[in-house]
C-alpha cells in the first residue's frame, strides 16, 4: 500500500496538485540540463529564466524602414529581444504605414503567441482580409515574431517548427539548376520566332546543367494558353522540371485546360496568398508543384499550413522567393521543416531584391546578412540561428532609409497600346 501513497507523476497531476517550481524542474530535465532545479534555484536555471521571459514578454514597439524594393520591419519587446521581417511585393507607400497602423493590435501582446497574433491581424478588418496589402504586410510582421521566438529560446526557427527534415536545401539559380524567363512581352497571339527563341534558351540551359541538373521555364502569365500549349510540345524533349505561372489566377478552368493539354509538370502559387487560395488548385488536380512565397502568404505561419495542405495531395513545394536575405531566410526555415519539397528560388546576390549600399570601393554591402554556402551540387546550408539567423546592419539600414525612396507601378503594354497581365 505504501506505493500508492506516493505523489502521482507530474504529467498526470491536476494543475492544483503541481506547482510552478516542479514544472520548470521537469522542463529543465527534459531539455537535457544536467542540474536540478532544487540545486540551482529558479534564478540560475536557464529553463526557468527563458520560460519566465517568455511569460512576461510584451511587444513595445514596431518600426519600419523603407529601402527599395522592400520595407524592413523591426518589432521591439520589453526584454530587449527584437525581431526582423521583410515586406515586399506591394507599394511601400502603402505597406509601411499599414504595418505601423497594425501596431495598435500588437501593442502589449506577447510576441510568442504567433498564431493568435496572425489571426488577430488577418481577421482585423473584413474588407481587406486576404488581400495582397494585408497579407504581404502581415508576412513581414509574422517573420519578425518568429525571429523573436527563436532568439528567445536560442535556436533556429526551424527547430520551433518541428525540427529539420533535411540537411541541406536544393536551390536555383546555380550551375545545376536554371530557370528560363520568357523573353520580352508577348502579344495576344504569337509567331514561330517567339517559340523558337524560348526553345533555344531552354536547350542552352539543359546543355549547361547537364542531364542531372534542373531546367525550369517561367511563363510569367505572359503566354496565351494556345501558345503555351504549342511551346510545351516543343520543349518536352529537354526534360523541363516544371512550367511556372501558366496563367493568371482567377479562373480554375484555364488551369484545368492547360493541365489536360500539357505533358510537363505545371507550377503556380506565388500570386496566391492563403490556404483558401491554394485549395482549388489541389482539389482540381491542375498543379503538380505549389509555389507559395513566404513574403506573400502571410509569413511562416501560413507557409507551414500551405505545406501541410499540399502534402495531403502529394504536391511538393518549390517556393517563389524574390526577397531580401530576411525573406529568403524565413522561407528556408519553413522549408527546412517541410517534408514534401522540390526546389527553392534563391537570389542572395541580386541587389534588386536584397538591398545593399556600396562601400568606398564600390562593393555592395547587404543590409541584411547571412553566411550562405551553396555547394557544388546546388544545395544551400540550413539557415543559421538563433531566430532567422540574419544580421541586420542597423547603421547601414538607417543610412539607406534616410535617402529618398520612390516607387513606380509596374505594368505591361502591348504593341497596339492595350494592357496585358504580367
Give pLDDT, residue 420: 83
Mean pLDDT, residues 322-332 taken together: 96
- Say whether 320 is catalytic: yes
Sign, Cα dihedral of 186, 187, 189, 193 = negative
Find the mean pLDDT for residues 283-304.
Answer: 97
> 58-160 has which CATH code?
3.30.390.10
Encode pLDDT of 312-323 as tens digits. Answer: 999 999 999 999
**Helices vs. strands in the chain: H and E counts, helices first:** 14, 17
**Residue 278's closest CA among 296, 290, 260?**
290
Q: Which of 71, 72, 106, 110 is nearest to 91 (CA)?
A: 71
Dist. CA 281–CA 331, nearest whole Å: 21
Task: Give this prediction's pTM.
Answer: 0.86
pLDDT of residue 354: 81
Could you say which of 79, 125, 136, 320 is catalytic?
Answer: 320
Is residue 188 annotated as a catalytic residue, yes or no?
Answer: no
Interval 100-144: pLDDT, tens? 999 999 999 999 999 999 999 999 998 888 899 999 999 999 999
Residue from 367, 363, 289, 272 nearest 327 by CA: 367
Same fold, 58-160 and 168-402: no
Spell out the domain ranges in the chain. 58-160, 168-402
DSSP line for 219-264: -TT-S-HHHHHHHHHHHGGG--S-EE--S-TT-HHHHHHHHHH--S
CATH number of 168-402: 3.20.20.120
- Catalytic member of 79, 116, 136, 220: 220
Q: Measure the CA dihedral 24/25/30/36, to 10°.
A: 140
Amino acid at each position: 500500500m505504501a506505493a500508492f501513497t506516493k505523489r502521482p507523476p507530474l504529467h498526470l497531476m491536476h494543475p492544483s496538485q503541481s506547482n510552478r517550481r516542479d514544472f520548470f524542474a521537469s522542463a529543465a530535465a527534459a531539455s537535457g540540463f544536467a542540474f536540478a532545479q532544487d540545486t540551482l534555484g529558479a534564478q540560475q536555471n536557464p529553463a526557468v529564466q527563458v520560460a519566465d521571459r517568455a511569460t512576461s514578454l510584451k511587444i513595445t514597439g514596431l518600426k519600419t524602414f523603407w529601402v527599395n524594393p522592400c520595407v524592413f520591419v523591426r518589432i521591439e519587446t520589453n526584454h530587449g529581444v527584437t525581431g526582423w521581417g521583410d515586406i515586399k511585393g506591394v507599394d511601400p507607400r502603402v505597406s509601411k504605414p499599414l504595418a505601423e497602423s497594425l501596431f495598435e493590435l500588437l501593442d502589449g501582446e506577447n510576441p510568442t503567441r504567433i498564431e493568435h497574433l496572425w489571426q488577430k491581424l488577418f481577421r482585423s478588418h473584413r474588407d481587406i482580409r486576404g488581400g495582397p496589402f494585408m497579407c504581404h504586410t502581415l508576412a513581414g510582421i509574422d517573420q519578425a515574431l518568429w525571429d523573436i521566438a527563436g532568439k528567445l529560446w536560442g535556436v533556429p526557427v526551424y527547430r520551433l517548427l518541428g525540427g529539420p527534415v533535411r540537411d541541406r536545401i536544393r536551390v536555383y539559380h546555380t550551375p545545376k539548376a536554371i530557370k528560363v524567363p520568357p523573353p520580352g512581352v508577348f502579344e495576344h497571339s504569337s509567331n514561330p520566332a517567339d517559340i523558337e527563341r524560348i526553345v533555344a534558351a531552354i536547350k542552352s540551359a539543359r546543355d549547361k546543367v547537364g542531364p542531372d541538373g534542373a531546367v525550369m521555364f517561367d511563363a510569367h502569365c505572359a503566354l496565351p494558353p494556345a501558345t503555351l500549349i504549342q511551346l510545351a510540345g516543343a520543349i518536352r524533349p529537354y526534360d523541363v522540371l516544371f512550367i511556372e505561372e501558366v496563367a493568371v489566377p482567377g479562373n480554375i478552368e484555364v488551369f484545368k485546360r492547360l493541365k489536360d493539354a500539357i505533358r510537363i509538370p505545371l507550377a503556380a502559387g506565388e500570386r496566391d496568398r492563403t490556404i483558401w487560395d491554394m485549395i482549388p488548385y489541389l482539389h482540381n488536380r491542375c498543379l503538380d508543384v505549389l509555389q507559395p512565397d513566404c513574403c506573400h502568404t502571410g509569413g511562416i505561419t501560413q507557409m507551414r499550413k500551405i505545406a501541410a495542405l499540399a502534402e495531403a495531395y502529394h504536391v511538393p513545394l518549390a517556393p517563389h522567393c524574390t526577397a531580401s536575405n530576411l525573406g529568403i531566410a524565413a522561407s528556408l526555415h519553413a522549408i527546412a521543416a517541410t517534408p514534401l519539397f522540390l526546389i527553392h528560388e534563391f537570389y542572395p546576390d541580386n541587389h534588386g531584391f536584397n538591398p545593399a549600399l556600396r562601400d568606398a570601393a564600390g562593393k555592395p554591402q547587404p543590409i541584411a546578412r547571412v553566411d550562405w554556402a551553396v555547394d557544388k551540387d546546388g544545395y544551400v546550408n540550413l539557415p543559421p540561428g538563433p531566430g532567422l539567423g540574419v544580421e541586420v546592419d542597423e547603421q547601414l539600414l538607417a543610412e539607406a532609409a534616410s535617402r529618398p525612396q520612390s516607387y513606380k507601378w509596374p505594368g505591361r503594354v502591348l504593341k497596339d497600346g492595350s494592357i496585358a497581365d504580367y
